[in-house]
Amino acid sequence: MKALVDGVRKDIKAVWFEGREVVMIDQRELPAKLVIVRFSDYKDVAEAIRNMTTRGAPSIGATAAYAMCLAAINGCDMDKAASYIKSARPTAYDLFHAVDWMAESLSRGEDPMKAAEAYAQATVEKCRLIGKYGAELIDNGMKLMTHCNAGALATVDYGTALAPMRAAHDAGNDFFVYVSETRPRLQGMQLTAWELGQEGIDHRIIPDGASAYYMSQGVDFIITGADRIASNGDFANKIGTFDKAIAAKHFGIPFYVAAPVSTFDLNMGSGKEIVIEQRSQDEVNTIAGIRIAPEGSQALNPAFDVTPADLVTGFITEKGILRPDEIGVMRD
């Protein structure tokens, strides 16, 4: 992705490996400032996943691969490391996929750094293919809507939901994007809007509750990412996604999900089996450390919801655009 670094526009990734350290953008600091942090212990990397220094399913997967690399080169117990890293974010399937992929690679005697880099680079290449297939859906003058952040920050580089937008923009198409703020962590407002702004893509931030209103005014299609997709097409994504899918169905608006094949959990029968992460109520009750809720009022804070497959028009993957009933082809 492109970003202004010390006043100079540069290509930068969300996470990478450098000098026996995992290096990443601290996404909690965006958009106010671009902060780079470094970790040399896999437990610190796992904590960075847990506290959302880095986030987004594919980026979490790559970060987990790098964490496994650190554990290996530092001579740690790999079974304990794998369990510890997996505990960081229970809903993101890419996290589990990456840890298991690295464990298998290391068991074959592969070099830890080369294996982790291969995993991260493969993630980026998959996103570019998602962009290629998804861009075919975008015509000049279209109005799109997205939720949370499924851009380069969430995927090492390029994005999933934002990948088709990047590809279409690079091809010269002119379109507009509604970006929902994504309470309570504001990933849409702070991260997606920042990425679209860096790319020069026209957009407006809207309150989460305004999504249905703008759909009623005319939206061509909605595109989001996903954190885990069950074999029947039910999928988990940031809380508020289900609401948008219901409204889109009402207005007859196509609803697409952009995700690499690594996000599909083909051993999970339906979304009912997906574990939903419950985060601290402080994320709801406070802003910048200042309590905004009445004293004594408690809050509930599920990080994700599950959208049923019958509300999904198609999944944009590196293998093409699949209907929910075509997911089985990925078993081949």
Q: How far apart are CA 252 and CA 305, in angstroms?
A: 21
Q: Return the residue matching tokens 């690079």.
A: 170
The catalytic position among 94, 157, 227, 234 is 227
Q: Considering only CA atoms, which of 38, 31, 1 is closest in space to residue 16?
A: 38
DSSP string, 12-70: --SEEEETTEEEEE-TTSTTT---EEEE-SHHHHHHHHHTTSS-SHHHHHHHHHHHHHH
Q: Which tokens belong to 196?
A: 């679209």
Say whether 321 sits in a helix, a strand or coil.
strand
DSSP string, 173-209: ---EEEEE--TTTTHIIIIIHHHHHHHT--EEEE-GG
Residue 79 annotated among the catalytic residues of the structure: no
Q: Which tokens belong to 321?
A: 């655009």
Query: Which residues are known to be catalytic?
Result: 227
